[in-house]
A and B are shown apart, each in its own frame.
Chain A
Amino acid sequence: AQKITQTQPGMFVQEKEAVTLDCTYDTSDQSYGLFWYKQPSSGEMIFLIYQGSYDEQNATEGRYSLNFQKARKSANLVISASQLGDSAMYFCAMREGGGKLIFGQGTELSVKP
């Protein structure tokens, strides 16, 4: 069965430093997609970054990058130069057949001034 695991319930990072949020996945499919979403305290789901299983290069979007290690089945999110506004819940998700997303349990990131 397909599964997403986020092993860090909470993380702290100092403002302006980089932070890595871990995500591992399990699937027998050859074609899949991996996503990261941000959920601030206001509750909305904000798309951050996407990595396709056949993409050879790691995805990047501004301060966000996805460290994709296919053999290890990991898709860690790296946030560079953390800002106070980055404090939120972060969810890793995997797309399976039909476009459905399977979510991890999330990591709560707190950025300290």
Chain B
Amino acid sequence: NAGVTQTPKFQVLKTGQSMTLQCAQDMNHNSMYWYRQDPGMGLRLIYYSASEGTTDKGEVPNGYNVSRLNKREFSLRLESAAPSQTSVYFCASSAVGPGEQFFGPGTRLTVL
């Protein structure tokens, strides 16, 4: 039981390059989330998927797209990376109703 996994762990991009961050969970959770954490700050929600087949914008969606590929997988795409997107990205999942969100280990992204 791996919980929430993310790939890659680290990535360096040049401005304008694109990439996809992968996230998968094996807990049969309906809901999945993408957050970013900038230095000295809490996490901010980028996009979320309340259930398979649905996605919605969070607090800071600009510059990102997401795909809920199936119940297990939720990917985050940067189409044209910018230095302002340098951050640590966390994927999380949760069951319906009260209870914790389970977080992946994070992806540290640097955009030069």
Contact of B74 with A by CB under 8 A: no
Contact of A35 with B by CB under 8 A: yes
Contact of A60 with B by CB under 8 A: no
Contact with A along B83-112 (1 / 0, CB 8 A): 000001010101010111111011010000
Contact A99–B43 (Cβ < 8 Å): no
Contact A50–B42 (Cβ < 8 Å): no
Minimal beta-carbon separation of B1 from chain A (angstroms): 16
Complex-state Cα separation, A103 to B103, whole angstroms: 14
Which residues of chain A are near B44, meaning CB under 8 Å? 103
Contact of B82 with A by CB under 8 A: no
Contact with A along B1-43 (1 / 0, CB 8 A): 0000000000000000000000000000001010100001111
The residue that B101 contacts in the complex, of A52, A101, A104, with Cβ under 8 A, is: A101
Contact B45–A101 (Cβ < 8 Å): yes
The residue that B100 contacts in the complex, of A44, A50, A106, with Cβ under 8 A, is: A50
Interface of B is mostly: strand
Contact of A105 with B by CB under 8 A: yes
Complex-state Cα separation, A43 to B103, whole angstroms: 11
Minimal beta-carbon separation of B97 from chain A (angstroms): 9
Which residues of chain B are near A106, meaning CB under 8 Å? 40-42
Which residues of chain A are near B100, meaning CB under 8 Å? 35, 47, 50
Contact of A45 with B by CB under 8 A: yes
Which residues of chain B are near A4, meaning CB under 8 Å? 42
Name the residue of chain B whose CB is nearest to the CB of A51.
Answer: B98
The residue that B98 contacts in the complex, of A44, A47, A52, with Cβ under 8 A, is: A52
Contact with B along A28-39 (1 / 0, CB 8 A): 000001010100
Complex-state Cα separation, A22 to B48, whole angstroms: 28
> Could you list 6 A-B pairs, sorted by A, with CB under 8 Å?
A35-B101, A93-B43, A98-B31, A99-B31, A99-B94, A105-B41
